[in-house]
Amino acid sequence: MADLILHHYPNSPFSEKVRLMFGFKQLAWQSVLIPVIMPKPDVVALTGGYRRTPFLQIGADIYCDSALIGEVLERIAPTPPLYPVQSAGLARTLAQWADSTLFWTAIAYAFQPAGLQSMFANVPPEHAKAFGADRAAMRGNAPRLSAAEATANLTDYLDRLENMLADERPFLLGAAATIADFSVVHSIWYVRRVQSIASILERAPKLLAWADRMAAIGHGTFGKMTSVEALQLADSSTPAALDATFVHLSDVAPGDRVTVTPTDYALDPVEGELVQASASMLSLRRTDERAGTVIVHFPRIGYQLKKIAV
């Protein structure tokens, strides 16, 4: 199989989710470090405009969003399962809550003044300013919790998660980790790293012990690759054959020119030819001067598909 290439950066929670999934499945992968803020020319050459972190590259196939990356890894390495049959629906639903509500609560909590101060303590002020401006532009008008609201909500969420572990089960849904554990842990991991505000976690000792168990899963084995090497690899590769059934939508058919855009934040459309629309995934073919012809895949949930009027 072609290399699994993760485009990410160390401090990214959703990247930590994927790195741990590599560890869980004991996969070998290649690490491409990407910029934390825009501009990201090599990212955009591969994705067509999607700027969020992380994304997975396999040859000339680009998989956006950690929710889709989990499904792809499960197909490549089915055991141990991220979506065990007896709890797959619950695990996916809990994961979706964690990747949206819990994540933005944790971010609003961590970005209170005390958190910001320690996060940016060793960073030149102009970097901190550029980061703030980048994220404000990315979030646009998306609503933001105040520090007080985030503290109250995170407290309640921590109690709920602690309650899930009350019967001494090792993982959130039982004896083994599922996608839910990987989606919850990245927000806890992030808050825990900001020492000035991490003490909120002490109210949930079982959750902290669980976070240690999750960290012990590790990141699998990885080598390093540059973004230019990744681009060259995409250019010299052929996208994998498509195998899912096309699910017809009222006004969109295979071959149509379309855009796919996140529905929550970082609303950058990716334009291409729709080549696959399964029940859970949308795939566009597009050509870039440096990346060649690639297929960019998105989950359906959280993304809007639009036909381009011709």
Ligand X SMILES: N[C@@H](CCC(=O)N[C@@H](CS)C(=O)NCC(=O)O)C(=O)O
Which residues are near ligand X by CB under 6 A?
A: 12-14, 51-53, 65-67, 99, 138
Nearest approach in angstroms of CB 267 to ligand X is 12
Q: Helix, strand, coil proportions of the chain in percent (round to 5)?
A: 45, 20, 35
Least distance in angstroms from the C-beta of 185 to ligand X: 13
* DSSP strand pairing (55-58 vs 5-8): antiparallel
- The stretches of the chain forming alpha helices (DSSP H) are 13-24, 41-47, 66-76, 88-97, 103-110, 113-119, 125-139, 147-164, 179-193, 205-216, 227-236
Nearest alpha-carbon partner for 34 in 58, 16, 51: 51
Of 94 and 256, the one with the shorter C-beta distance to ligand X is 94
Give least dist CB 236 to ligand X, A: 27
- Residue 223 CB, nearest approach to ligand X (Å): 22
Residue with tokens 């060793």: 122
First-residue to last-residue Cα distance in the chain: 39
Residue 14 or 109 with smaller CB distance to ligand X:
14
Beta carbon of residue 187, minimum distance to ligand X (angstroms, whole number): 10
- Least distance in angstroms from the C-beta of 17 to ligand X: 7
Q: Alpha-carbon distance 114 to 118, whole Å?
A: 7
| Shortest distance in whole angstroms from residue 54 CB to ligand X | 6
At CA 247, angle to CA 242 and CA 250, rounded to 5?
A: 135
Cα distance between residue 310 and residue 293, in whole Å = 22
Q: What is the 3-state secondary structure (H, E, C) of 63-109?
A: EECHHHHHHHHHHHCCCCCCCCHHHHHHHHHHHHHHHHHHHHHHHHH
Select 50 or 157, whichever has its Cβ closest to ligand X. 50
* 79, burial (CB in 10 Å: exposed 0-12, middle 13-18, buried 19+): exposed
Pick between residue 71 and residue 99 the one whose CB is nearest to ligand X: 99
Return the number of the residue (58 or 292) whose C-beta is nearest ligand X.
58
Nearer to ligand X, 97 or 246 (CB): 97
Q: Decide whether 137 or 308 has the Cβ nearer to ligand X.
A: 137
